[in-house]
């Protein structure tokens, strides 16, 4: 049960970030533009401060799609090293085989 909660929480954070990404970029451009009046820049900074915490990319963590593990993720496959090894040994991952020399 905890696994599902972790995965769903991560998906929710990713969705929130995707929703707010374009607005955040627009506000950052306004806030850092020295050609604009100081009032406009201050309003943009204030709007950035009022955003949701989950609207920031640093809140997103790569998690295993199967187990929800937060460490040892192989980015290409999106799964943890434990699940990668198990699936590769069973032959479920195309193009992956054990090294032998």
pLDDT in tens, 41-89: 999 999 988 888 888 888 888 888 888 888 999 989 989 999 999 999 9
In this prediction, residue 83 carries a pLDDT of 93
Give the alpha-carbon dihedral of 82, 86, 92, 97, to 10 degrees.
Answer: 90
Residue 1 has pLDDT above 70, yes or no: no
What is the value of pTM for the model shown? 0.68
Helix axes 2-32, 38-49, angle to 10 degrees: 180
In this prediction, residue 84 carries a pLDDT of 93
How would you classify residue 37: left for phi > 0, otherwise alpha for psi between -120 and 50, otherwise beta? beta
């Amino acid at each position: 049960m905890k696994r599902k909660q972790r995965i769903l929480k991560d998906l929710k954070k990713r969705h929130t970030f995707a929703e707010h990404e374009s607005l955040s970029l627009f506000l950052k451009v306004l806030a850092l533009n020295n050609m604009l009046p100081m009032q406009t820049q201050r309003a943009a900074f204030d709007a950035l401060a009022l955003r949701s915490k989950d609207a920031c990319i640093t809140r997103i963590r790569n998690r295993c799609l199967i187990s929800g593990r937060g460490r040892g993720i192989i980015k290409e496959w999106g799964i943890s090293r434990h699940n990668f090894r198990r699936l590769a040994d069973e032959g479920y991952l195309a193009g992956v085989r054990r090294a032998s020399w």
